[in-house]
Chain A
Amino acid sequence: MGSCCYSPSPSSSHLLVTDFFSWGFKSSKLPFLQQKRRFDRSQRASKICGYHGLRTPPYKLDALEPYMSLKTLEMHWGGHHRNYVEGLNKQLEKNDILYGFTMDELVKVTYNNGNPLPEFNNAAQVWNHDFFWESMQPGGGDMPKLGVLQQIEKDFGSFTNFREKFVEAALTLFGSGWVWLVLKKEEKRLAVIKTSNGICPLVWDDIPIISLDMWEHAYYLDYKNDKGKYVNVFMNHLVSWNAAMARMARAEAFVNLGEPKIPIA
């Protein structure tokens, strides 16, 4: 269950072309590296092995303009997100036990039931940002359709009510954090939740459907302190209900949302 990723793109624990040269000896299957390796052996011995890669968003960095600027994407993805990935890899280098875990597993294990290990912050933030980029799309916003809309209307009364709750949660967050639309496993319903710093609903076994980054770095360059504008722009122009639909479909494999269809004899 833990190895099932909530995203259609390849798992970030696979070798990415961009991380080609940060891999050390683990990439022994690549012939044209062999020559380089012979010369670099002594230097390579101390280089970091990239366990996890920085996954690129499913759109060009300027594709979300004018709602989220290229500058923000470059800073947020290329700076913050990249730092979390590199920080995580540095920590994993020293930790044999966590090697080989997928991102989902890492987040849950390092959360350690509320007493987080030092790797948690980096692991969770890598996961959160991967999820966030995929929660947005160029030409996003508008309204969900079909099953997602039905479930929202069932659990919130109406889409408008859900939207209000989501925006309110975003604006009443104290400090840094995230706002989520999750499918709660136990209660078998959708809910809006907010988390602080890097906490991710995966740690409570809930299934995230959509997320919004409310750390100041996510909106400050574009909107300064106008959080309200940022959140509304996200809901109107950025949120990807397509991604939500895919995630819901996958989530239904783990949570039974239907009414039991008992045949009448």
Chain B
Amino acid sequence: MVQLVGSLRKELADSLYTCKVLVVGAGGIGCELLKNLVLTGFKNIEVIDLDTIDVSNLNRQFLFQKKHVGKSKAQVAKESVLQFCPSANITAYHDSIMNPDYNVEFFRKFMLVMNALDNRAARNHVNRMCLAADVPLIESGTAGYLGQVTVIKKGLTECYECQPKPAQKTFPGCTIRNTPSEPIHCIVWAKYLFNQLFGEEDADQEVSPDTADPEAAWNPEEATARASASEKDGDVKRVSTKEWARSTGYDPIKLFNKLFKDDIMYLLTMDKLWKKRKAPTPLDWTQLENKASPQEESPASGLKDQQVLGVWGCCQLFKHSVETLRSELREKGDNAELVWDKDDPAAMDFVTSAANLRMHIFSMNMKSRFDVKSMAGNIIPAIATTNAVIAGLIVLEGLKILSGELESCRTIFLNKCPNVRKKLLVPCVLDPPSKNCYVCASKPEVTVKLNVQKTTVLSLQDRILKERFGMVAPDVQIEDGKGTILISSEEGETEANNSKYLSDFGIRNGSRLQSDDFLQDYTLLINVLHTEELERDVEFEVVGEAPDKAPPPQSNPEEVNSITNGNKDSAQPSTSSKGQPQTRKRLSQKEKKNLHGHDL
């Protein structure tokens, strides 16, 4: 094949033949990127993606066709590219990049790593692997019409984790279980419910009324009412939700009456909750059935998904989806579990109907299936054009890195339309590493505020080390002079510690924990700050980091950047839209940095 060298310098063009690069993710950006790489002259490419192809990918992931649905993205992407460019040498992995097989040695093989990912956990992990292997990384993302590309090089630029990202939104358990006030609360509840009934049960995803709600502390005289209500509920309490559901044979009407009548009546007995709030209204299947009017189902114009169903419509959808899920579960055999997936019609119908019924009960305006899907699936709109633009930019940054011109690399933001300065693209000079970064600093250290008497070893491991600090398999040692091992990544070694509290190991205010992740070649020193004054449902706080707040603007953009950014795309899942008029929002450079697209 004639390779068009064109505007590349010859030495650069030659080096493309020999250098090996890794593409992490073979989705929207990944497909475009693979094409651009081979056509720019890259010969040795490895690509990894754990996902399989879905119909909703086909509007942009052009290496896939309808016949490929269900197959490995990485594998099909490789085959499609080879069809067009047989001379390329491509290795595909249908796997998670967080698998320990892909260790520092693996990363060292590459001259360049390019992320085309859709989630923060994997981005954090690849960031650490590239720091450990000292390989340059190009990070990118798109969301609707917006996109960005940046370059990360150990010691020279900020790493992916130098700027704290706003915490992913979570909701207090009591809000979900007792006092939802926004549609998203009901949607989260419905997703939990799905797992409780059909999927993997998770103690953190309870859906029944929470009697321990501190806001609901009862007066003694109401004890009678409570007792009688909980008697009705008695058999449900003793067995798990799933076992109970199973014992009814997943009878949709029994489930309905338990979830939307009995549980709600039970909530009503916690009357302190409803002093200031509007109390929920229980629903009764038979009553609804009797007064159901046939005209409620009149289909208007437009897409079916975009219509809001009436209450009885939701009831029928609920019944129908429970029946479908029940047979799916039966087909899979004993002890089978379903996994919730926004693109599985029955699972989505279930969440749509259950969430809407709960919204109605709690006097909220109901939502269409289309909107529920957006919120439940954290769907970020994605189109071919933005991915094409971003993948084009990635390769150009890559060429600069390979020619040793790191100083000319930029973070580039793509706007929805030319900004007030008539710029569609906003390039910014790369920032140097942050000295206080808990990942790329020479001796990373953080202070965590928690209650040593209430924090278990398991929640230290899962919530703090894994979820918050992005470790995959942490080992933890207490710096108590004896080197007590608190958590070991070897299976079975420290499991007995899991349910114990930190204080059981002598950990107290001022204790220091050394946490290592062997795979990521990463050590983090944790200073424990004991406190008894955390807000309800808050397990811990990282000191010096205001959760949910954007970091202060700084940075040195090449131009004064005062564009109004359309990051509030109408389709963007919005979790708190109550009465907030969309005011003119100007984003600082750093805030924009946190606008991480998620299309892979």
Q: Is A bound to B?
A: no
Interface residues of B (CB under 8 A from A): none
